[in-house]
């Protein structure tokens, strides 16, 4: 595996490192949505949703299409939905390990 591949994978995980961004990606995994729908679904303020979408777009994880004045977002690659769903499923079934102070 090349260093470039590892760096790209690390960048992907950085973009996925926010619970709010994961929430938005999970919602978009069920279908395209505009900012208003994402605000309602996530419970986040509109400026925060826009900021998170900007990070996700920069990482190539979501795409935007304009329909009139409205921006409609979608998951750019179904692999992303699978990564997010698998991670959420994994933490739901994996036993929690206690972190011991050293």
Looking at residue 38, its pLDDT comes to 98
Please tell me the distance from the alpha carbon of residue 91 to that of residue 102, in angstroms, as a whole number: 25
Calculate what percentage of the chain has a pLDDT beyond 90.
67
- Percentage of the chain exceeding pLDDT 70: 91
Phi-psi bin for 83: left (phi > 0), alpha (psi -120 to 50), beta? alpha
DSSP string, 77-90: -HHHHHHHHHHHHH
pLDDT at residue 94, as a whole number: 62
**pLDDT at residue 81 is higher than 60:** yes
Q: What pLDDT score does 93 carry?
A: 79
Does residue 2 surpass a pLDDT of 90? no
- More reliable by pLDDT, 100 or 45: 45
């Amino acid at each position: 595996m090349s260093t470039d591949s590892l760096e790209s994978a690390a960048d992907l995980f950085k973009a996925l490192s926010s619970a709010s961004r994961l929430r938005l990606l999970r919602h978009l995994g069920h279908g395209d949505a505009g900012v208003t729908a994402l605000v309602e679904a996530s419970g986040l303020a509109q400026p925060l949703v826009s900021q998170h979408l900007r990070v996700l777009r920069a990482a190539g994880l979501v795409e935007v299409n304009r329909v009139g004045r409205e921006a409609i977002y979608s998951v750019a690659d179904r692999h992303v939905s699978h990564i997010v769903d698998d991670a959420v499923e994994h933490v739901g079934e994996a036993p929690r390990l206690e972190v011991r102070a050293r």
